[in-house]
Chains A and B, each alone.
Chain A
Amino acid sequence: MFTQILFAVLATLGFGIIFNIRGKNLFFSALVGGVSWGTYLFCLELSTSLIFAYFASSIVLTICSEIFARLLKTPVTSILISGLIPLVPGSGIYYTMYYILEKNTEKAISKGAETLFIAVALSFGIVVVSSLVRIIKTGQKNRYSRNIS
């Protein structure tokens, strides 16, 4: 498991360089990638369903990136996007299209559905956390303005 996380960090670091992330942001995005892959493996170890593992790791990933983005004063995207890389179902899309070309429709449909569910789970995790963050932020702003008045 440890080597797996190490390779996830390496892959995220590589994509960070490809996406031209610089300085401290690069380090933290690689870290976040490792954390998200670690959460995914941990969930699988607890034998949760595959989709839930992706959902949980995307939630952990987004929380971490929101925190680091606030600390580094950078848009959340620049950390979130590369942290998402190890989880993203790239191989799923590729295999789906590959099975279709092989005329193996049954496998293609099951792989395609799985890929779509993974992508939906990942984006739901992100949306849930960023909505919560927005609620918290708006709450703070209201409290602040009330203090001033």
Chain B
Amino acid sequence: MTLNKVLRIASYAGKMILENGGETYRAEDMVSRICEAHETSADCFATLSGIIVSVTKDDVTLSNVIRIKSRTVNLEKVHQINDLARDTKYYNCDDFMGKLKNIDGISRYSIPFNLLAHAITAASFAVLFGGTLKDFWGTLPIGAAVYLLSYSFSKYELNGIFVNTLGGAISAFLAYYFYSIGFVENTDKAIIGSLMLLVPGLALTNGIRDIIAGDYMTGMARGTEALLVATSLAVGTGAAISLSLGGNF
């Protein structure tokens, strides 16, 4: 059953693209490109949370539905799948599947390096939003704390709302604490700087890009996701701010 194998590899590649932060049109493109390379005609409908592929050859049609549950951004995988798909016709289906599995196993940067990256990003945003150099040093540990939180909760596959609320609360608490010991000057800059790690600005912009491109479902889904994440962040920080201000007065 080669048709079955073609369907498998095409939908697996599409699934990986969507799971790792590729656009929906890229996933749909990828699926039809792989199927065409194997001389079958294919149609694919991808949304943010699922992908439907059907392949046709010689009066036989097979289709496959894949549900996408968790999404992260891992652009190295997108890059490598893209490279691989360009050479589809040089591989047979089993080799291609093996290569895809290899790509799926690509690890991220090490934890200390990630910690450093989160800290520096948060601190740089605090300065970009108008903070001082003192805020830069003060926001470094807050960014690191936000990463430690989201990393330690990532293995439980919890609801994003819970983690984001907690992240917002922790960054606000730490910012006010550092302010009280004279470690940062502008609490709001420190808070929003560290929240930039969690905040869904990219989701909103990509959502509008999808809507312009005609992917209304994905666009609306991304917009809703952005709104939900922002709400949970605001709830977390709001609660923490009122608690810490209440303690001071």
Contacts and interface: CB of A to CB of B under 8 A. Distances in A.
Interface of A: 3-4, 7-8, 10-11, 13-15, 17-22, 25, 37, 73-75, 77-78, 81-82, 84-86, 88-98, 100-102, 115, 119-120, 122-124, 126-127
Given A7-B127, A101-B238, 12 more contacts: A15-B117, A19-B75, A37-B128, A73-B83, A77-B78, A85-B201, A91-B196, A94-B233, A98-B234, A123-B208, A123-B212, A127-B212
Contacts, number: 151
A15 B121 contact: yes
Interface size class of B (residues with CB under 8 A): 35 or more
Interface string B104-146: 0010110001100110110011011100000000000000000
Contact of B202 (A20, A37, A84, A127): A84
A123 to B, nearest CB: 4
B224 to A, nearest CB: 12
Interface of B: 21-23, 26, 73-79, 82-83, 106, 108-109, 113-114, 117-118, 120-121, 124-125, 127-129, 192, 195-197, 199-202, 204-209, 212-213, 226-227, 230-231, 233-235, 237-238
A97 B226 CA distance: 11
Across the A-B interface, the 3 shortest Cβ-Cβ residue pairs: A14-B121, A90-B201, A88-B201
A112 to B, nearest CB: 10
B114 A74 contact: no
A77 B114 contact: no
Given A19-B21, A94-B233, A97-B233, A7 B128 contact: yes
A97 B230 contact: yes
A8 B238 contact: no
A1 to B, nearest CB: 12
Contacts of B212: 123-124, 127
Nearest to A6: B124
Nearest to A10: B124
Consensus secondary structure, chain B interface: helix
A20 B76 contact: yes
Contacts of B197: 18
Contacts of B128: 4, 7-8, 11, 37, 86
**Residue of A84, A89, A100, A119 ringed by the most chain B CB atoms within 10 A:** A119
Contacts of A77: 21-23, 26, 75, 78
A3 B34 CA distance: 46
Contact of B114 (A18, A98, A100): A18
B79 A78 contact: yes
A127 to B, nearest CB: 5
A78 B204 contact: no
Contact of A81 (B73, B120, B231): B73
A97 to B, nearest CB: 4
Contacts of A81: 21, 73, 75, 202
Contact of A18 (B117, B129, B199): B117
Central interface residue in A14, A15, A18, by most chain B CB within 10 Å = A14
Nearest to B210: A123
B199 A90 contact: yes
Contacts of B77: 20
Contacts of A37: 128
B117 A120 contact: no
Nearest to A37: B128
B118 A94 contact: no
Given A20-B109, A74-B82, A81-B73, A94 B124 contact: no
